[in-house]
Amino acid sequence: MTVQSLPHRRRIHAPDQQPDLAAAEQAATDLLEALGLDLGGDLEETPRRMAHALAEMVTVPAFEMTTFANTEGYDELVVVHDIPVRSLCEHHVLPFTGVAHVGYLPGERILGLSKLARVVDFYAHRAQTQERLTMQVARRLEQELGARGVGVVVSAEHTCMTLRGAKAPGTHTTTSALLGRLRTDPSTRAEFLALTQRA
């Protein structure tokens, strides 16, 4: 096995952040009481649970990006469908959930398939907008792989829209980011979008 064909691993580090759970629990207590909730009885543990749940959703997981030499010269689309997306709307701190379809046209390197889901999870674990999340995933993959093209489509339901405000349950928002040949080559773009629609 040549050096060129060995896997390349690079640690993708999370932003420096350590939630202060004690402070978060006190803040949750203050918020819930300010909203008029009686935190006695069945709600006594709610501030702690709330603080831990929110901390889990905004704690970014580090992971190892593993790529391999494209020794076979594979030059067709690689697409992973229905990657779960769970994030927090940065405007209301309410969850949005859905799926991402992620694909790329390999260049000199290919990616361990599970890492496509890891990249989505990495950018979803924070207060986010769906538009930014979609672009961050696409740009990271382009940067890490030197891919000839990258495509990301995210479809998600935003509880800030379905449970409050417009109160429009069942609505989904779709965003896309197309880079390289998936943006400039009409046939490649159409192929990727058709594959995501059939998922």
First-to-last C-alpha distance (Å) of the chain: 37
* Whole-number pLDDT of residue 62: 86
Question: Residue 143: inside a domain, yes or no?
Answer: yes
Maximum C-alpha span of the chain: 66
Question: Residue 81: inside a domain, yes or no?
Answer: yes
> Tens digit of pLDDT per residue, the chain (199 long)?
454 566 778 777 777 678 899 999 999 999 999 999 999 999 999 999 999 999 999 998 888 899 999 999 999 999 999 999 999 999 999 999 999 999 999 999 999 899 999 999 999 999 999 999 999 999 999 998 989 999 999 999 999 888 988 888 889 999 999 999 999 999 999 999 999 986 5
Question: Residue 16: inside a domain, yes or no?
Answer: no
* Whole-number pLDDT of residue 8: 77
* Whole-number pLDDT of residue 4: 59
| 163 and 85 both lie in a single domain | yes
| 81 and 27 both lie in a single domain | no
Alpha carbons 19 and 14: distance in angstroms, whole number: 13
| 25 and 70 both lie in a single domain | no
Question: Residue 7: inside a domain, yes or no?
Answer: no
Alpha carbons 155 and 64: distance in angstroms, whole number: 26
Q: What is the CATH number of the domain that holds 85?
A: 3.30.1130.10
- pTM for this predicted structure: 0.90
Question: Residue 1: inside a domain, yes or no?
Answer: no
| 72 and 28 both lie in a single domain | no
* Whole-number pLDDT of residue 19: 87
Token duo for residue 37: 């909730």
Question: Residue 10: inside a domain, yes or no?
Answer: no
Query: Which phi and psi (to 5°) does residue 59 adopt?
Result: -90, 115
Question: DSSP string of 4-50?
Answer: GGS-EEEEEPPPS----HHHHHHHHHHHHHHTT---SGGGTTHHHHH
Question: Could you list the active site residues?
Answer: 89-92, 130, 158, 160
Check if the beta carbon of residue 90 is closer than 8 Å to that of residue 39.
Answer: no
| 52 and 124 both lie in a single domain | no
Token duo for residue 62: 């580090």
| 112 and 178 both lie in a single domain | yes
Work out the number of other CB atoms within 10 angstroms of the CB of residue 77.
17
Question: DSSP string of 60-99?
Answer: PPPEEEEEEE-TT---S-EEEEEEEEEEEETTT--EEEEE
* Whole-number pLDDT of residue 165: 82
| 86 and 142 both lie in a single domain | yes
Question: Residue 79: inside a domain, yes or no?
Answer: yes
Q: Tell me the residue range of the domain where 162 lies.
A: 64-198
3-state secondary structure of 108: coil
Question: Residue 28: inside a domain, yes or no?
Answer: yes
| 48 and 128 both lie in a single domain | no
Domains held by the chain: number: 2
* Whole-number pLDDT of residue 45: 96
* Whole-number pLDDT of residue 12: 77
